[in-house]
Structure 1
Amino acid sequence: MTLLDRERLVTRTGVRLEVRAARAEDERALAAFFAKVTPEDMRFRFLSTKGAPGHDQLLALLEKPSGDGESLIAWGEDGTVTATAVLAGDAAGERAEAAILLRGDLKGQGIGWTLLERLVSEARTRGYAVLESLEDRANHAALQVENDMGFDLAPVEDDPTLVWVSKRLR
């Protein structure tokens, strides 16, 4: 099964998720999701202090990333969006970038871990050599998950507030 299909995942704490590719008709649900994302988590995900995305930004988030990638939505059992995840690959098929955002009220339940684990698996299946992410150094929770999953950290030369995390897949 690829990420193009609907997939059911269960976190280590028993949270059940339905993950599928984002669709244009998900805009309203995605807007409701962003209303429950903390400003700090928005900054960590987008490396910016902008507020909740407007209509045009939501539509961009619902589109498939350029290249060999996916924009995903994880739905909870209550039918609301619990998280978003993006896998965006380069044209050469060597490197892919992962980005995950989840609601602040759902942290600590293994949702981020489960989605990152799925993105690692999908990146391997697609033949990428490296999966990476640009993180804010203050995003300790994400950095801990990535460290626990075997990602390496490297400084960003021009910005001491950021760090590249990467995992060799082959």
Structure 2
Amino acid sequence: MDRDMDERTTRSGFTFHVRTATDIDDPLLADFFAHVSEDDLRFRFLSAMPHVSEAQLRAMTHVDHRHTESFVAFTQDGSLLVATAMLACDPALAHAEVAIAIRADHKARGIGWELLHYIAGVAAARGIQTIESLESRANHAAIEVEQDSGFRMESVPDDPTVVRVVKTLSPA
């Protein structure tokens, strides 16, 4: 396995590897998003869409690695991309937004929970003070994972369909 990959094991015992996404991952991500449920696509992008565009894929893999970082997670043997995550920071590198998507056939294995903890650790190591995610109020599974991970819920003024979940990080 690539030495730049971090091994993670979920509470259910599922082991996967995470690494920073690169431009060679565009085709893998295109295939990955073809295996994400319609609801999860809508929750990830907060918009109904039939598929993820090439421009959106490029935005996930062609990043500056300072203010934005994208991650890909593979099965233990490296044969299948099972999740992706993005950490997008403000210019001061004090606050960041997190977004995660899991392949439909790999949900309920603890991947999202473990990936969220991994990204929170990366953010804390970079000195980021808070991380947040905007969630559709209908995305009960993600909100439950985030609350279980120490996030607090906040209303979003003027939009009752979404909620902001925020976590203050401890310096690494």
Which residue of the partner structure matches residue 114 of structure 1? Answer: 114
Q: Who is 2:98 aligned against?
A: 98
Deviation track 1:84-113 (CA, whole Å, cap 9, x = no partner) reads 001111111210111100011111100000
Partner of 1:39 in structure 2? 38
Q: Does the aligned pair in 2 maintain the 1:65–1:71 contact within 8 Å? A: no
Q: Percent identity?
A: 45
**How does 1:1-170 map onto structure 2 within 5 Å?**
5-64=4-63, 67-77=66-76, 79-170=79-170
Distance 2:43 2:120 in 1: 20
The aligned amino acid for 1:107 is K
Measure the CA separation in 2 of the matches of 1:151 and 1:16. Answer: 24
- For these two proteins, the number of residue pairs brought into alignment is 167
Q: Deviations over 1:45-66 (max 9, x none)?
A: 0000012113232222212267
Decide whether the 8 Å contact of 1:65 with 1:88 is kept in 2.
Answer: no
Q: Distance in 2 between matches of 1:69 and 1:57?
A: 14
Instruction: Deviation per CA, 1:4-61: give whole Å up to 9, x if none.
Output: x321111111212111111111122111111110110000000000121132322222
Question: AA paired with 1:17?
Answer: F
Moved more, 72-81 or 130-139: 72-81
Note the aligned Cα RMSD (angstroms): 1.6
8 Å CA contact retained: 1:136, 1:163 = yes
Unaligned runs of 5+ in 2: none
Q: What is the rounded CA distance, in whole Å, between the counterparts of 2:121 and 2:115 in structure 1?
A: 10
Hey, which bits of structure 1, 4+ residues long, moved more than 2 A? 54-57, 65-69
1:123-150 deviations in Å (ceiling 9; x for gaps): 1111111111111000000000111111
Gap regions ≥5 residues in structure 1: none
TM-score, normalised to structure 1's length?
A: 0.92
